[in-house]
Structure 1
Amino acid sequence: MTMNNKEYRSAPLAVADQPEDNQMIVTGYAAVLEQPTVICSIDGINYYEVIDKDAFVGADLSDVPFKYNHSDDFLVLARTRNKTLDLNVDTKGLLIKANLAPIQAGKDVYGLIQRGDIDKMSFGFTVANDSYDSQTRTRRILKFEKIWDVSAVDTPAYDGTSIDVDDGSAISARSYFSAKRDAEKLVQKEQAEQQNKEQRDRLYLMTL
């Protein structure tokens, strides 16, 4: 999904097995590196996205809030700025660990995550550089510009691969092509390019 030039990705969200001193800790991978993900399928054709292993290098992670449904109307539940939210990029992907605020909103969200009513998360970002391979229909995110937020979400546009609650791993699922009309435009463009190629071939044969 894309809103205000920001893109969003959804992924499963886990609850830590044992609360630390009654703290409400949630953890998981918001993105996995170098793992192609099917974003959508149009007329039986799959479109993919993959995050480059160096995509987070140089990205602005300085002040990232943990929200609910990316809402500015909902209280911020954790934040990197005050170290209640940790974001770490390892060889697998973007690992998050949030210590939710001990307020009613934090308790509500934690309880829903713990019960499995909310089991997905999403992160919002802008891209500095990417590429697209028309042969494999794969978008590669080469560089993130900024990570705007990570959120617990109840209704993601695209579900990620399921994980065990105690695993702490997750796969990025929402993407560049989450707006179906964007993918349809790409299909139309590819069809037009093919028609142009066929027309050029016919013209070439006529000149022989």
Structure 2
Amino acid sequence: MRAAEDEMTVEGYAAVFDAPATLYSYEGVDYKEAIDRGAFIAAEMQDVVMNYNHGGKPVARTKNHTLELTVDGRGLKVRADLSGTEEGRRLYEEIKGGYIDKMSFAFVVSEDTYDRDTHTRRILGIKRLYDVAAVDMPAYDATHISARSYFDAEAVKAERAEARARKIRRIKLMMEVIR
């Protein structure tokens, strides 16, 4: 399959729940961190940007609807249209080519715990999410990002159109019942 020339969409996970990452090692001890399934429940995520390695110009943004963030059973899912900026188009090509295939996120913690036995910090709550980033060296190796194929993008468009049509039919039906 090939990627669409006019649709430069990428998808991935910037955070994966319950997948401990070793943040650093000291004197033979691995210090880890894991994201709890409920960490994003109260997180402020109204204006989040996407960029490369947490720096440079934004390539997508929630405020202009080029960046979509959803929390599902696996983690923080990212879907971004990178076609709007030159930096975004370059990043898309690097993701599509497999040069960049991991993600990260920048955030402020509202609540956490630490297990001295396992040397693991567990993030229970995130106060504010600042950015999601395609990265070359992630803290969490379980993350990923990939370019969507043209056929995948077309299938999603068709599914969304059908869902909208079902919703419209339901509303019309409800309006007839009310009369």
User: Which TM bucket (shorter chain)?
Assistant: 0.7 to 0.9
Question: 5 Å matches for 1:1-208?
Answer: 19=3, 22-71=6-55, 74-154=56-136, 156=137, 158=139, 160-161=141-142
Q: In the alignment, residue 114 of structure 2 is paired with which amino acid?
A: Y
Structure 1 residue matching 2:124: 3-state secondary structure:
strand
Structure 1 residue matching 2:90: 3-state secondary structure:
helix
Identical amino acids, percent of aligned pairs: 41
Question: How many residues of Structure 1 are paired with residues of Structure 2 in the alignment?
Answer: 148
Structure 2 unaligned regions, length at least 5: 149-179
Structure 2 residue matching 1:75: 3-state secondary structure:
strand
Structure 1 unaligned regions, length at least 5: 1-16, 168-208
Work out the CA distance in 1 between the residues paired with 2:145 and 2:106. Answer: 24
Alignment RMSD, CA only?
2.5
Structure 1 residue matching 2:47: 3-state secondary structure:
coil
Give the deviation of 1:59 after TM superposition: 0.2
TM-score if structure 2 supplies the norm length?
A: 0.72
Comparing 39-48 with 62-71, greater Cα deviation is found at 39-48
TM-score if structure 1 supplies the norm length?
A: 0.63
Q: In the alignment, residue 127 of structure 1 is paired with which amino acid?
A: V
Work out the CA distance in 1 between the residues paired with 2:50 and 2:145. Answer: 22
Aligned to 1:175: none
Aligned to 1:188: none
Q: In the alignment, residue 51 of structure 2 is paired with which amino acid?
A: K
Q: In the alignment, residue 66 of structure 2 is paired with which amino acid?
A: T
Structure 2 residue matching 1:57: 3-state secondary structure:
coil
Work out the CA distance in 2 between the residues paired with 1:164 and 1:77. Answer: 14
The runs of at least 4 aligned residues of structure 1 exceeding 6 Å deviation read none
